Amino acid sequence: MNEENSAATSESDKMRGGNQKAAALLALLNKTGYNMIQENGQRKFGGPPPGWEGPPPPRGCEVFVGKIPRNIYEDELVPLFERAGKIYELRLMMEFSGENRGFAFVMYTTKEDAQLAIKILNNYEIRPGRFIGVCISLDNCRLFIGAIPREKKKEEILKEMKRITEGVVDVIVCPDATDRTKNRGFAFVEYESHRAAAMARRRLLPGTFQLWGRAVQVDWACPEKEVDAETMRRVKVLYVRNLMISTTEDTIKAEFNKFKPRVVERVKKLRDYAFVHFYNREDAVAAMSVMNGKCIDGASIEVTLAKPVNKESTWKQHLNGHVSPCSENLMEIPSREDSHQKSVGKPASLSLSLNGQHSPSSPELEWYPYPFLPGVKLIPISMYSLKSSYFSSAVMRLDYFCYKNNWLPPEYYLYSTTSQDGKIHLVCKVLIPSIADGSQSCFMSHKLCTTLEDARELAAQMALLHLGKHKCF
């Protein structure tokens, strides 16, 4: 009898809580005049707001909100995010149970309001001890297509992609650095919308489709980092790509100094692209106009303003699966092996280079050795009691991620192949056994490695980047 009474009381409390929440949401709608609908696993508040005329806000007006407590809804989120400006639309991801999924997207009417939201609400304590994360959200409309025949021209690739997928806007094909008559074995396909790109990606998934009789690699390309206009107005560095491997920094400097002597401060060349630093912004802008499309050592170059990058924020946002670093970002030095892909974007799953080469790291993870003095008291602790910022390895981060979600530990499976020179190359597949809701649970890198540690690290990175779009640390 006591158990029945307890169950009845619990059920009654749930109904009362549900009624109170429904009343709070109704009061919000009455107060704001916004509409709210639920479809495809998300609840949309607004989009557009009352009295809105014209097209939706431009790209760069939306922020991603992660680590939202599961019992918080629009009646609390809307007033909080209205502190930064007028909300065009708020999309809260929902479970079938009625709880939220821990993340949302908030679109403002201006980019300035979106940036302000990041500034004032990132790491905001929304509940005692519970901090939300806020970063820019960019709809990715670009796919990476790898393993395409190297003899295919841009026109052929564009025609084929338009034939088999819908909404194709353009194809970006980079010529080989040593043989300009061939491509580099990959291309980037730009679509008219994120939805069109997502549908194309689903159609082209490995094992289900072939191009020109061969299986291709398909993944999301890195979205180009949005930089505010005020920051770009201060940039005095040019990004130059499609250079010949043999072209030297001195040659580049001499060519850019031709239109106006002694305006170039220095040049930094990496493989087939370079950063040209000017003393004055006005000279950089003028040189960009003059030099774009010019030939240097027989190669037609492309010249744009370099985009500054905040390395710390780039790393943190990268693991959330949103904004990823690209080589056009000013002062970011990519690895030699990956530099050819980074010039226009690359698969998000490959953004961190390994094999002892450069990769961005958080300032919190730098080594600071301290002397271990006699008498220092040591306290045993569990690694799972630490914050995720204490882990620099993707393998350790994934293990920590699974533990925090009450999942079984990840399982790694090793595969090998032999290169033409007889060397053994490795790749790992990682399985998350506890994912049983229909989501992807198996992840494998598209890149071969020479050591077991690197193969496991790349597989873990692939898993983290995918899971970061749906779950929060």
User: Cα–Cα distance between 71 and 340 in angstroms, integer?
Assistant: 46
* CATH code of residue 163: 3.30.70.330
Structure tokens at 169: 């806007």
Find out whether 36 and 44 touch, Cβ atoms under 8 Å.
Answer: yes
**Backbone phi, then psi, for 250, in 5-degree steps?**
-65, -40
> 3-class SS at 145?
strand
**Beta-bridge partners for 196:** none
Q: Does 255 fall in a domain?
A: yes
Q: Does 186 fall in a domain?
A: yes
User: Cα–Cα distance between 108 and 424 in angstroms, integer?
Assistant: 51
Classify residue 223 by burial, with Cβ atoms within 10 Å: 0-12, 13-18, 19+: buried
DSSP 182: S
pLDDT band at 15 (very low <50, low <70, confident <90, very high): low
Q: Is the pLDDT of residue 35 over 60?
A: yes
> 3-class SS at 300?
strand
pLDDT for res 40: 75
Q: Are 152 and 121 found together in one domain?
A: no
Q: Are 216 and 298 found together in one domain?
A: no
Q: Does 191 fall in a domain?
A: yes
pLDDT for res 83: 95
Q: Which residues contact 79 (CB under 8 A, 6 or more apart)?
A: none
Q: Are 463 and 396 found together in one domain?
A: yes
pLDDT for res 382: 79
Q: Is the pLDDT of residue 344 over 50?
A: no
Q: Can you say whether residue 349 is alpha, beta or left, with left for phi > 0 and alpha for psi between -120 and 50 degrees? A: alpha
Q: How many CB atoms lie within 10 A of CB 61?
A: 23
pLDDT for res 203: 85
Query: Where a domain ends, among 290, 309, 328?
Result: 309
Q: Please provide the average confidence, as pLDDT, over all residues in the chain.
A: 78
Q: Are 115 and 165 found together in one domain?
A: no
Q: Are 206 and 266 found together in one domain?
A: no
Q: Are 465 and 433 found together in one domain?
A: yes
- Which range of residues forms the domain containing residue 445? 390-470
Q: Are 41 and 109 found together in one domain?
A: yes
Q: Are 154 and 177 found together in one domain?
A: yes
Q: Does 148 fall in a domain?
A: yes
**One-letter amino acid for residue 58 of the chain:** P
Q: Are 249 and 198 found together in one domain?
A: no
Q: Does 277 fall in a domain?
A: yes
pLDDT in tens, 262-292: 899 999 988 788 999 999 999 999 999 899 9
**For range 298-305, the mean pLDDT:** 87
Q: Are 197 and 268 found together in one domain?
A: no
Rounded CA Rg of the chain: 25
> 3-class SS at 342?
helix
pLDDT for res 14: 53
Q: Position of tokens 């990956």?
A: 338
Structure tokens at 335: 């690895």
Q: Does 240 fall in a domain?
A: yes
User: Cα–Cα distance between 86 and 32 in angstroms, integer?
Assistant: 11
Find out whether 435 and 441 touch, Cβ atoms under 8 Å.
Answer: yes
| pTM for this entry | 0.48
Find out whether 216 and 277 touch, Cβ atoms under 8 Å.
Answer: no
Q: Does 419 fall in a domain?
A: yes
Q: Are 147 and 90 found together in one domain?
A: no
Query: Where a domain ends, among 288, 309, 330?
Result: 309
* Number of Cα atoms under 13 Å in the Cβ half of residue 41: 7
Query: Where a domain ends, among 309, 329, 363?
Result: 309
pLDDT in tens, 429-453: 998 876 655 556 788 887 888 888 8
Q: Are 54 and 117 found together in one domain?
A: yes
The arrangement of strands across the sheet holding 411-418 comes to: 411-418, 424-431, 442-444
* Number of Cα atoms under 13 Å in the Cβ half of residue 17: 11
Q: Does 159 fall in a domain?
A: yes
User: Cα–Cα distance between 340 and 326 in angstroms, integer?
Assistant: 11
pLDDT in tens, 143-193: 988 888 889 998 999 999 999 899 999 998 888 777 778 888 888 999 988
Please give the tally of structural domains in the chain.
Answer: 4
* CATH code of residue 466: 3.30.160.20
